[in-house]
Amino acid sequence: MKAKTIALVAALISISFISCDDTTDSIGSSLIGQTDNLKVMVDTFNVISRSILADSVIARTGTGFLGRMKDPETGATITGNFMAQLHVLNNYGLPTLDSIMSRDQNNEIIADSCDIKLFYASYNGDSTSQMKLTAYELNHPVEEGQIYYSNLDPQALGYIRMGGIAEKRTYTLINFTEPESVRKDSTYVKNIDIKLNKQYTDKNGQTYNNYGTYLIRKYLQDSTAFRNSYRFLHEVCPGFYFKTTYGIGSMAHVEAVQLNIYFNLRVNNKIRAASTNFNSTEEVLQITNFSQDRGQLEQMAQTPGYTFLKTPAGLFTELTLPVDSIMKGHEKDTLNSVKLDLKRVNNTSFSHFQMPFPKDILILPADSLSSFFARNKVIDYQTSFTATYSSATNSYTFNNLAALIKYFHRTKQNASSNWAKVILVPVDVQTTSSQYGSKTLTRIIKISNLMELSSVKLFGGAANPDAIKLSVVYSKFNG
């Protein structure tokens, strides 16, 4: 499509807006005497798109996903299970031993009971759906310094301890075993409670009345192992794997795992109930693995007229950018702005539990997809950018991809078969804010694959080549 020259006044306005990231101190003086020579051109180009299957994604998240849901769009089931490890503080300690009143017939300290609580703040699906899980004790911890993917199978890889804890629990996300008065209390945090009160035998063949007593006795043997996370994981408690074994209809977003040990304590000559606990934190790994029907996703990827973004590890959208067409005849011009607008298709199917659409999406070269997440990168505004969904326009808009077009144009000679191809990926964006006087500066500190259930349909695909357009603004001085 041939570029069109527009009026100088409009040109100056366009440049002032699209150059807002640069200093504008000298714009007025630099244009004086040259206005007759300035030419600004605009053009639009079609973008080819298609859905691609995402085999797996890096499972780097502090949230564990547990449950099973049916995708209302495909009818396929998605199952989430996760491994969690527990963190210890460097000053951890039990109360003085003579104050602990829970004892066995030999006057040895014991735990009266022990449990694991899976705390969740949000979920997908129906909170009254009956579900069943099994909590497995790990045979060895998940080691740091490695990359773990969402298709990891802990059982196949030998993470589960044979003969260790395998506690089954039937639950609903609304915990009807707790009184309504407790659930309505302002301090109450929704949780799935797993009792560990059965007789427990450790790897050395030593038997205890429950898992809590095992932990107490290990502490009495060597308390220093409880003040170092590496030693705690390797010598005491490698962690647990929580696997969905029955039911369909809910997926809990588990924000924290807490292991509690309960005992009686003498305080001021009175016997009181007491407890100690260990928690999952970002200092130790939590890994979710998902399983779903890949055949259904492959069929969905072939839907004509649309493309999809579907998580976790479902579908991404690939775009082929018309770099040669954009740059043809403009090799010496300034590429001021390249705007990409991706329109969302409103959901017409009915379901009480529609999957939410992702808030943020990432665009980056196809060849950079794996390394971006493996190296914990954040966007550089050169080859990687993010866009946030706008309800006002019902779209995701990348306001200026000029640097990305220039990158592809510059690297064409040494390009791979993925040249000019970019991938759209749903992501979880974490930010931090700093206050500078009256201004608030927000900075992105982490970008990871979006692991929660989400789905969005976009206009595009091979059958709809005119659906996605790039709006391009060039400028040049003649003479």
Q: What is the pLDDT of residues 224-263, one digit of tens each?
A: 999 999 999 999 999 999 999 999 999 999 999 999 999 9
Q: What are phi and psi of 129, to 5 degrees?
A: -65, 135
Asked if 199 contacts 210 with a C-beta cutoff of 8 angstroms, the reply is: yes
Residue 354, pLDDT score: 79
Boundary (domain end) residue, out of 259, 292, 325 = 292
At residue 37, the pLDDT reads 77
* pLDDT (0 to 100) of residue 130: 96
Give the pLDDT band of residue 11 (cuts 50, 70, 90): very low
Task: Place 36 in a pLDDT band, splitting at 50, 70 and 90.
Answer: low
Under 8 Å between Cβ of 295 and 453: no
- Which of 292, 318, 338 is at the close of a domain? 292
Average pLDDT over residues 317-341: 96
Residue 402 is predicted with a pLDDT of 97
200 shares its domain with 340? no
Banded model confidence at residue 31, pLDDT cuts 50, 70, 90? very low
As a whole number of Å, the CA-based R_g of the chain is 28
- Kindly tell me if the per-residue pLDDT of 28 is higher than 60: no
Confidence at residue 29, expressed as pLDDT on a 0 to 100 scale: 39
Distance CA 127, CA 191 (A): 12
| Whether residue 162 is found in the same domain as residue 90 | yes
> Which pLDDT belongs to residue 25?
41
Does residue 212 lie within any of the structural domains? Answer: yes
Question: What percent of the chain is modeled with pLDDT above 90?
Answer: 73
Domain annotation covers residue 61: no
pLDDT for residue 17: 43
Question: Is the pLDDT at 27 greater than 50, yes or no?
Answer: no
- Contact between 97 and 109 (Cβ < 8 Å): yes
Same domain, 224 and 128: yes
- pLDDT band at residue 88 using 50, 70 and 90 as cut-offs: very high
- Residues 233 and 281: their CA atoms lie apart, in Å, by 13
Shared-domain flag, residues 361 and 329: yes
CA distance 398 to 339: 6
What is the mean predicted confidence (pLDDT) over 98-103?
Answer: 96
Verify that 82 and 191 share a domain, yes or no: yes
**Which band of pLDDT confidence, cut at 50, 70 and 90, is reported for residue 286?**
confident
Q: Which of 225, 257, 292 is the last residue of a domain?
A: 292
63 in a domain, yes or no? no
The pLDDT tens digits of the residues spanning 140-159 come to 999 988 899 999 999 999 99
Q: Total structural domains in the chain?
A: 2
- Best CA proximity match to 232, nearest among 111, 83, 114, 86: 86
Choose between 61 and 129: higher pLDDT.
Answer: 129
Q: Is residue 66 part of a domain?
A: no
Q: Are residues 408 and 392 in the same domain?
A: yes
Among 369, 397, 394, 396, smallest CA distance to 383 is for: 369
* 128: in domain: yes
Q: Which of 200-209, 258-267, 382-391, 413-422 has the lowest mean pLDDT?
A: 413-422
Domain check: are 342 and 365 in the same one? Answer: yes
Q: How far apart are CA 132 and CA 16, in angstroms?
A: 60
Are 259 and 398 part of one and the same domain?
no
Is the CB of residue 191 less than 8 Å from the CB of residue 123?
no
Residue 154 belongs to some domain of the structure: yes
Do 100 and 35 sit in the same domain of this protein? Answer: no
Q: Is residue 1's pLDDT more than 70?
A: no
Q: Is the pLDDT of residue 33 over 80?
A: no
Judged against a pLDDT cut of 50, whether residue 161 lies above it is answered with yes
Same domain for 342 and 236: no
Q: Is residue 65 part of a domain?
A: no
The pLDDT assigned to 198 comes to 97
Q: Are residues 101 and 157 in the same domain?
A: yes
pLDDT of amino acid 5: 45
Whether this prediction's pTM lies above 0.75 is answered by yes
Computed over every residue of the chain, the mean pLDDT equals 89
326 within some domain = yes
Region 284-304: mean pLDDT is 87
Spatial distance between the Cα atoms of 186 and 178, rounded to a whole number of angstroms: 15
448: tokens are: 């990871």
Q: Is pLDDT at 54 greater than 50 in this prediction? A: yes
Provide the domain limits for residue 364: 4-54+295-477
Quote the pLDDT of residue 34: 53
